[in-house]
A and B are shown apart, each in its own frame.
Chain A
Amino acid sequence: MGDVILTMKGIDKSFPGVHALDHVDLEVRKGEVHALMGENGAGKSTLMKVLTGIYSKDSGTITYEGREVEFTNPREAQDAGIVIVHQELNMMGHLTVAQNIFIGREIMKGKLIDDKKMNEEAGKLFEQLGIDIDPKETMSRLTVGKQQMCEIAKAISHEAKVIIFDEPSAALTEAEIEELFKIIRDLRDKQLGIVYISHRMDEIKVITDRVTVMRDGGYVGTLITKDSTKDDIINMMVGRVIYEDPKTESAVPEDAPVVLKVEHLNAGRMVRDVSFELRKGEILGFSGLMGAGRTETARALFGADPKESGDVYVNGTKVEIKTPQDAVKCGIGYLSEDRKRYGIVVAKTIAENSTMASLENFMKGAFIDKKKENQAAQEYVDALKTKTPGVDQLVVNLSGGNQQKVVIAKWLVRNCDILIFDEPTRGIDVGAKSEIYQLMNELVAQGKSIIMISSEMTEILRMSDRIVVMCEGRKTGELDIAEATQERIMHAATLRD
């Protein structure tokens, strides 16, 4: 490790209602690979966005190459030599590799673009990196791994001095990761400073020199990687926070029947051979880090996305679920993580939203039976204690928690016995949260069964009777609530095959 090239000190950033970064420190040296770790929402990406000028900081200092800097956009940071290789690739799929690398600063011959020269230059870059990619190939024809290499080549062509890798390995194969690591080591040897954001503990041990851990927007500490164990890092990530009233044992009776059985479900890269059972009256928590494939599993199960293979049994009978209509017929309801996009129609009333999934039961001939609709809606407004002046209120006027209740009502009106809650309390304030929790507990007490996908450890430990942990599309753990701890869940969530 060489001299310090980048220091972020006391970085503070608030968004309305959220203290996203609370005096965070980060120091990067020349010739080091510095891991940045933390749970979902710990603030890693926010910190990098502050660094590269996408967000402005509220306080704190950034010192780069001995000078205090403040970039106002990514372009400025890039020109100064700080480049991000994004997880979601920023590329123009229709253009060639070389055209992508030189976008915005094409090599010209008079008034025309000199594609030949650009291909040569890109070829030289790849040679330097030891990668075999044809600069003339169309970008979209490359594998994700190769595309990532192109992003790196682009970063280097900017004469980057600090390169930030934001979960670079998430979409790569084993061989591609090897290649990536080789490149990263080369870059390190050339005295570049490298920030490596990843959830994969094994990778951290292999490739990084130091680890900075963040938690809930705060700075926890920095470790020398070779002097620390996986457990040290996990302990720093989850901390010693006391979670409010976690469940200590499962509330599901021993002999409760299995209402949903999923066997060997496969759907693309994010759902690979997932099997699990859901019992009557159970809350089955789905835990995992961002991109673990939990939502994808739910969507494939629900028929929202096509599945490649796998069997689904509802109440012991094998069912074919190809579309959401099929799932609804089987009594499965899905409450999306993105309520506004998939859950409710905000410009419609509570009554209209409540009956949306079961309108055929509210018809009088060809017309909607408004009276019956209002009655049903009112029933669930009362039952769920939705705060509203009336069922003719537009959903857009309700708070997040009450909107969520309308979505729940929609599925209850439909008589769904299996409910999939995808991040049920996202964007809902604390008070309404516990109401939603109470509601979920009441639902299972009535004999409904719930799959709850959640990225919040608190929520998982508080609500679940059993926990399925996923990592990279695979089920990597299944824990009874009695034996579940944050550490165990985190272990499983970072377990690679």
Chain B
Amino acid sequence: MTEKKKGNAFTENPLVRAIGVQKIVVVFVLIAMLIIFSAASSAFRQYSTLLSVMDCTYYLALLGIGVTFCLITGGVDLSIGTGMFCYALVGGFLITQKDMPVIVGILATVFCGLLVGTINGLIVSRGGHAPFLATLCTMMIVRGMGAIITGNASVTWPSSSSPIGWTRRIFKMDIGGMKVPIGFLWVLILAVVMSIFLNKTRPGRYIIAIGSNKEATRLSGVNVATYQTLAYVISGIFTGLAALAYSSAFQSMIPGGGGGIELNAIGGAIIGGTSMSGGSGTISGTIIGVFLMSILQTGLPMIGLQANWQQIIIGLVLIVAVYIDVLKNKKLV
């Protein structure tokens, strides 16, 4: 007989266990929020609101997918918020100021993410820095770099009316005069691919194993440093992709911006059930979590709570999410 820990019928239900208690609860919270916002604000019921929620979801989801890998190793990547701005600045700068082809700008954006991610990974895995500090430092560096490269000027990606403005339509297509948030499909495809990568391939398995017990993983003959680095590389690449999503939705970036966005993405991942202490986490949870964050971000102003209130509420939500994570680690949930 396999011994089981005490738990009620709900949490021991095989289906519930397969999906995860937290995710189910978050979905209900999500529905509750949708109902509350819809009831409180007529603006929230508009189709355009769905489009704004989606614009916000895309970049947060991409950041979230990436950072989930770092969180699962037991680390974190704080450079993703400012990183996203920096890479989008660099890509946009090349296109609009240096007249490079759009595709070069896109590739440069993603490459910047890859580069910074690799540096983060090496500092953490080879240099032995605490992930929190290492990525805090690179966060400072990319913030400065973005401003220096663009000569401290804002960058605006080509507008949708411009002949090279097709990047604006990657995530929001115009079909018969109606704007369709097609980006959700791309994010979903990426999420599925990364979920398979996490759960069904060796690198993914080792990333989980490292977060669960690094020393045991090392003693099992796994090259721990390589896979730890990989987690940050993934985070970097997805930050690059998020930069594309952000510039597609919002078009212009100011130098030195993006700070604080990393917390929305990390918060989304934690709300979705990824543990701050490593070893467990799912891509699907992160998607649900960042969707909740996006709804908060879009919905709160519509019920009259402006930016400052938003920050307070999102901060409180994160405290609750992290506290649940702490409880889970004590095996109370």
* CB 8 Å contact bits of A88-114 with B (1 = contact, 0 = none): 001111110001000111101001110
CB-based nearest A residue for B331: A140
Check if A143 sits within 8 Å of B212, measured CB to CB. no
Check if A143 sits within 8 Å of B196, measured CB to CB. no
The segment from A131-139, A272-280, A414-422 found at the interface with B is A131-139
Check if B1 sits within 8 Å of A132, measured CB to CB. yes
CB-based nearest B residue for A136: B2
Given contacts A75-B221, A93-B279, A141-B4, contact A112 B209 (CB under 8 A): no
Interface residues on B, range: 20 to 34
Contact partner, A112, options B5, B200, B211, B221, Cβ 8 Å: B200
Check if B208 sits within 8 Å of A94, measured CB to CB. yes
State which residues 183-218 of B face A: CB under 8 Å: 196, 200-202, 205, 208-209, 211-213, 215-217
A146 at interface by CB-CB < 8 Å:
yes
A142 at interface by CB-CB < 8 Å:
yes
B219 at interface by CB-CB < 8 Å:
yes
For B213, list chain A residues within 8 Å (CB): 90-93
* CB 8 Å contact bits of B255-281 with A (1 = contact, 0 = none): 000000000000000000000000110
Check if B3 sits within 8 Å of A95, measured CB to CB. no
CA distance in complex: A480, B222 (Å): 53
For A146, list chain B residues within 8 Å (CB): 2-3
For B200, list chain A residues within 8 Å (CB): 112-113, 115
Check if B279 sits within 8 Å of A92, measured CB to CB. yes
CB-based nearest A residue for B3: A143
A331 at interface by CB-CB < 8 Å:
no
Check if B212 sits within 8 Å of A93, measured CB to CB. yes
Check if A90 sits within 8 Å of B1, measured CB to CB. no
B220 at interface by CB-CB < 8 Å:
yes
Check if A113 sits within 8 Å of B219, measured CB to CB. no
Given contacts A141-B4, A142-B3, contact A94 B279 (CB under 8 A): yes
A41 at interface by CB-CB < 8 Å:
no
* CB 8 Å contact bits of A72-96 with B (1 = contact, 0 = none): 0011001000000000001111110
Given contacts A112-B200, A132-B1, A133-B2, contact A92 B216 (CB under 8 A): yes
Nearest-Cβ distance from residue A255 to partner chain B, whole angstroms: 48
Of the listed residues A90, A91, A104, A141, the one surrounded by the most CB atoms of chain B closer than 10 A to its CB is A104
Check if B211 sits within 8 Å of A94, measured CB to CB. yes
Check if A92 sits within 8 Å of B212, measured CB to CB. yes
For B202, list chain A residues within 8 Å (CB): 106, 108, 113
Interface residues on A, range: 20 to 34
Contact partner, B2, options A99, A108, A137, Cβ 8 Å: A137
Contact partner, B220, options A104, A108, A132, A142, Cβ 8 Å: A104
Check if A113 sits within 8 Å of B201, measured CB to CB. yes
Check if B216 sits within 8 Å of A99, measured CB to CB. no
Nearest-Cβ distance from residue B168 to partner chain A, whole angstroms: 35
CB-based nearest A residue for B223: A104
For A108, list chain B residues within 8 Å (CB): 202
Check if A95 sits within 8 Å of B2, measured CB to CB. no
Check if B220 sits within 8 Å of A103, measured CB to CB. yes
For A134, list chain B residues within 8 Å (CB): 2
CB-based nearest B residue for A78: B221
CA distance in complex: A108, B219 (Å): 21
For A93, list chain B residues within 8 Å (CB): 212-213, 279
For A99, list chain B residues within 8 Å (CB): 205
CA distance in complex: A351, B150 (Å): 54
CB-based nearest A residue for B2: A134
For A92, list chain B residues within 8 Å (CB): 208-209, 212-213, 216-217, 279
For B279, list chain A residues within 8 Å (CB): 92-94
For A78, list chain B residues within 8 Å (CB): 221
CA distance in complex: A9, B72 (Å): 45
Given contacts A75-B221, A112-B201, A113-B201, contact A91 B216 (CB under 8 A): yes
Nearest-Cβ distance from residue B204 to partner chain A, whole angstroms: 8
Check if B208 sits within 8 Å of A95, measured CB to CB. yes
CB-based nearest B residue for A114: B200
For B219, list chain A residues within 8 Å (CB): 74-75, 90
For A105, list chain B residues within 8 Å (CB): 221
CB-based nearest B residue for A74: B219
Given contacts A95-B208, A142-B3, contact A103 B217 (CB under 8 A): yes
CA distance in complex: A204, B66 (Å): 53
For B2, list chain A residues within 8 Å (CB): 132-134, 137, 141-142, 146
Of the listed residues B3, B5, B222, the one surrounded by the most CB atoms of chain A closer than 10 A to its CB is B3
Contact partner, A104, options B1, B5, B196, B222, Cβ 8 Å: B222
Check if B1 sits within 8 Å of A95, measured CB to CB. no
For A91, list chain B residues within 8 Å (CB): 213, 216
Nearest-Cβ distance from residue A323 to partner chain B, whole angstroms: 18
Contact partner, A141, options B5, B211, B212, Cβ 8 Å: B5
State which residues 16-72 of B face A: CB under 8 Å: none
CA distance in complex: A91, B216 (Å): 6
* CB 8 Å contact bits of A283-305 with B (1 = contact, 0 = none): 00000000000000000000000
Check if B222 sits within 8 Å of A103, measured CB to CB. yes
Nearest-Cβ distance from residue B323 to partner chain A, whole angstroms: 20
Nearest-Cβ distance from residue A84 to partner chain B, whole angstroms: 10
CA distance in complex: A198, B92 (Å): 67
CA distance in complex: A112, B195 (Å): 12
Check if B222 sits within 8 Å of A112, measured CB to CB. no
Nearest-Cβ distance from residue B7 to partner chain A, whole angstroms: 10
Nearest-Cβ distance from residue B88 to partner chain A, whole angstroms: 32
CA distance in complex: A176, B3 (Å): 12
Check if B221 sits within 8 Å of A104, measured CB to CB. yes
CA distance in complex: A393, B216 (Å): 41
For B222, list chain A residues within 8 Å (CB): 103-104
Check if B3 sits within 8 Å of A103, measured CB to CB. no
Of the listed residues A94, A95, A141, the one surrounded by the most CB atoms of chain B closer than 10 A to its CB is A94
For B1, list chain A residues within 8 Å (CB): 132
CB-based nearest A residue for B200: A112
Nearest-Cβ distance from residue B123 to partner chain A, whole angstroms: 25
Check if A94 sits within 8 Å of B280, measured CB to CB. yes
Q: Beyond A113-B205, A137-B2: 12 further Cβ-contacts under 8 Å?
A: A90-B220, A92-B209, A94-B280, A95-B212, A103-B205, A106-B205, A112-B201, A113-B200, A132-B1, A134-B2, A141-B3, A146-B2
3 smallest beta-carbon distances between A and B, as pairs: A92-B212, A94-B279, A90-B216
- Chain B residues at the A interface, C-beta cutoff of 8 Å: 1-5, 196, 200-202, 205, 208-209, 211-213, 215-217, 219-222, 279-280
27 contacts between A and B (CB under 8 A): A75-B221, A78-B221, A90-B213, A90-B216, A90-B220, A91-B213, A92-B208, A92-B213, A92-B217, A92-B279, A94-B211, A94-B212, A94-B279, A95-B205, A95-B208, A104-B217, A104-B220, A104-B222, A112-B196, A112-B201, A115-B200, A132-B1, A132-B2, A141-B3, A141-B4, A142-B2, A143-B3
